[in-house]
Structure 1
């Protein structure tokens, strides 16, 4: 489970790594659940044939998905979604079935390393130093003061992963966020359920770097 990550906060880096148009709000420089962060989704007018319209847009949203049917927008524990049950859980299933998939740009994620007997913050990043594109889904909720965008990160089991099996308490199930290959971004955002199924998997350990904060 990921509850802390470092977002990509440099505009040029976001444009180059994720093919974005103009950006306005980059959200917080250090992300925890409930904070406003950036997520990427297809631009709603990308298919109109206007070259001035970018294929993707970046929005600021609440990290922790708020389902459209929420009465008060107060939700807990929705910053991660288990990929095994995302199509069934009431909080996530509508966004999933509608194909409301997104990418969360991150430089690193942080998890507790318990190998010493106590929690030591550990940083996981890409070994090549490039930004991560984390698979997610998004939703829009209508609150008393207007529309609120929100998102969550998909996770998979990582009990056998060479990096993530070292993290969290020994007795806990190991989970890791789904880190997409850059060449699969378009498929994740626009593909159908059959197209995206192979993308929901562990990121190879050799593509990651584990370090201290």
Structure 2
């Protein structure tokens, strides 16, 4: 499961790549994100109530409230940041968001850890002319309003879709990888009926991917800057 990725794209580049007008860019003075962890700030491309593309900052991970087993009081919630493709249409936790609220998650790389004590951090991306060619992960989003531990918060939350790994990723993570979308599928992912969108979820071709860097203590993709 992917619990770490990077988005080092400038907002103006995201506007261009994902056909978002300047007026619909709500990221503010966004700086490059070399390491996005669950509960971190995750920019997405979604559709507003008028069907126009917008850039939004989100909380990475759907909020799952928790209470202390010892005291019964609210504690910091979980952030469920990966949605398995085989659960999207059957789980009540994901189904409505997949049907009604799909999004693109801009990225420059994603990371999987291999082994433990110490782990090797492997940063994957797509091939292209740039050092870290941009791409989009298949995502879903929903709003949250309620107790976030001991505080009340109103959030837009997002989660990325995971699928079976290709040959390149499988050596590091044998079970799952984030679903990377082909650029020609961006519009269909955002607007098509759910069954048609589901067909777009598949392992990205290994020959179109690369390992950008790997090693211990590489919990951010500084090479993307």
Into which bin does the TM-score normalised by the smaller protein fall?
A: 0.7 to 0.9
Q: 1:87, 1:96 within 8 Å by CA — same for their partners in 2?
A: yes
1 or 2, which has the higher strand percentage? 2
- For residues 141 and 75 of structure 2, what CA distance do their matches in structure 1 show? 14
Shift of 1:77: 5.1
Q: 1:79 to 1:135 in 2, by over 3 A?
A: same
In structure 2, the residue matched to 1:203 is 204
What secondary structure does 1:199 align onto?
coil
**Per-residue displacement from partner, 1:155-187 (whole Å, max 9, x unpaired)?**
0122xx21111103xxxx420000000110000
Shift of 1:73: 9.7
TM-score, normalised to structure 2, is 0.78
- For residues 64 and 28 of structure 1, what CA distance do their matches in structure 2 show? 19
**Per-residue displacement from partner, 1:49-101 (whole Å, max 9, x unpaired)?**
xxxxxx3101111000137x99979542510010101222232122123x210
What secondary structure does 1:66 align onto?
strand
Shift of 1:143: 2.8
| Pairing of 1:88-103 with structure 2 (within 5 A) | 88-97=90-99, 99-103=100-104
Are 1:11 and 2:8 matched, yes or no? no
Are 1:59 and 2:56 matched, yes or no? yes
What secondary structure does 2:20 align onto?
coil
Unaligned runs of 5+ in 1: 47-54
> Which one is further off, 176-185 or 71-80?
71-80
- For residues 176 and 182 of structure 1, what CA distance do their matches in structure 2 show? 18
In structure 1, the residue matched to 2:121 is 121
- For residues 131 and 20 of structure 1, what CA distance do their matches in structure 2 show? 15
**Per-residue displacement from partner, 1:6-34 (whole Å, max 9, x unpaired)?**
11430221112111122242377120000
In structure 2, the residue matched to 1:52 is none
Are 1:40 and 2:45 matched, yes or no? yes
Q: 1:194 to 1:70 in 2, by over 3 A?
A: farther
Q: 1:134, 1:177 within 8 Å by CA — same for their partners in 2?
A: yes
TM-score, normalised to structure 1, is 0.82
What secondary structure does 1:163 align onto?
helix
RMSD in angstroms over aligned alpha carbons?
A: 2.6
What secondary structure does 1:34 align onto?
coil
Unaligned runs of 5+ in 2: 68-73, 215-225
Aligned residues: 196
Q: 2:63, 2:78 within 8 Å by CA — same for their partners in 1?
A: no
